[in-house]
Amino acid sequence: MGGLRPAGCDSLGGMKDVQNARDKRRIPIRKVGIKDLRYPVIVMDRRNQTQPTTAEVSMYVDLPHRFKGTHMSRFVEVLNQHHGMISIGVMEEILRAMLRKFACGTAHLEIRFPYFMERRAPASGARALMNYRCALLASLERRGRRDRFDLVVEARTPVTMVCPCSKEISARGAHSQRSQITIRVRSRGLVWLEELIEMAEAAASAPVYSLLKRADEKAVTERAYDHPRFVEDAVRAVAVRLKRDPRIEWFQVESENQESIHNHSAYAMVECGR
């Protein structure tokens, strides 16, 4: 994998190109590049069509064993060529530019960003923006005459969980946790981030809100108490819905409870598909 790179291709004014030097250890590197570069991007928004946000961008390529290093500045050069229009629709184009720029066999592009949705409190109807951690994880691999493009969409949703066991055995109340449900999917059609977020909230005891009045706090607390969930319940509930969706080719669902009375977190994960 990876084509030969002519010696001195990055030389300027006779300066030596150290990265392009030969390496004798004969160890190829699977991923090398830049990580967590903050950069403005545009993501698709079901309600408003698009949403500008600031992402943490990571870009990697493979490095054949014969080369000492890669040229880190080239990653930013490729990114800057798409400044102002970085979105899910151009990720494959960016990856192809990376393959050409680095003469490599595999390229990876990871875009992690806060995604905002307006949410209404359950009782008062008060409106406020709620943010969710989302990501687009893409790769492009050269396979003879046909390249393989892969895209995983990720949504990480904060929720509330009430322990069914605690509710069952306690005479007064039940302990609850701040929890996180992470859904990753590969699909053959468009899947909105909002769909994944709403799916996670429906599988939990109750959603989390950024603005709650007193009546809202009562409503959320009582809803959570009436819908106790284990981490196992959450991942299974999401999995059932994803299995029924003809767009979904593969999925992974994680649920993690930051326990309020234990010195550990509770965790569950399911995965299905290729």
Minimal CA–CA distance to 183: which of 159, 217, 162?
159
Q: What share of the chain is helix, strand, coil (3-state, %, to 5)?
A: 25, 45, 35
- What CA–CA distance (Å, rounded) separates 107 from 91? 11
- Per-residue confidence band for 14, with pLDDT thresholds at 50, 70 and 90: low
**Site of tokens 């009375």:** 261
**Residue with the larger pLDDT of the pair 85 and 269:** 269
Averaged pLDDT, 125-150: 93
What local confidence, expressed as pLDDT, does residue 87 receive?
76
**The pLDDT of residue 57 is above 70:** yes
What local confidence, expressed as pLDDT, does residue 147 receive?
87
Mean of pLDDT over the chain? 89
In the chain, pLDDT over 90 holds for what percent of residues?
Answer: 69
What local confidence, expressed as pLDDT, does residue 140 receive?
96
**The pLDDT of residue 149 is above 90:** yes
Averaged pLDDT, 213-227: 96
What local confidence, expressed as pLDDT, does residue 204 receive?
97
CB atoms within 10 A of CB 124: 14
Reduced to 3 states, what is the DSSP secondary structure of residue 1? Answer: coil
- What CA–CA distance (Å, rounded) separates 206 from 196? 15
DSSP assignment of 31-85 equals EEEEEEEEEEEEEEETTTEEEEEEEEEEEEEEE-TTBS---THHHHHHHHTTTT-
What local confidence, expressed as pLDDT, does residue 175 receive?
87
**Residue with the larger pLDDT of the pair 246 and 171:** 246
29-273 has which CATH code? 3.10.270.10
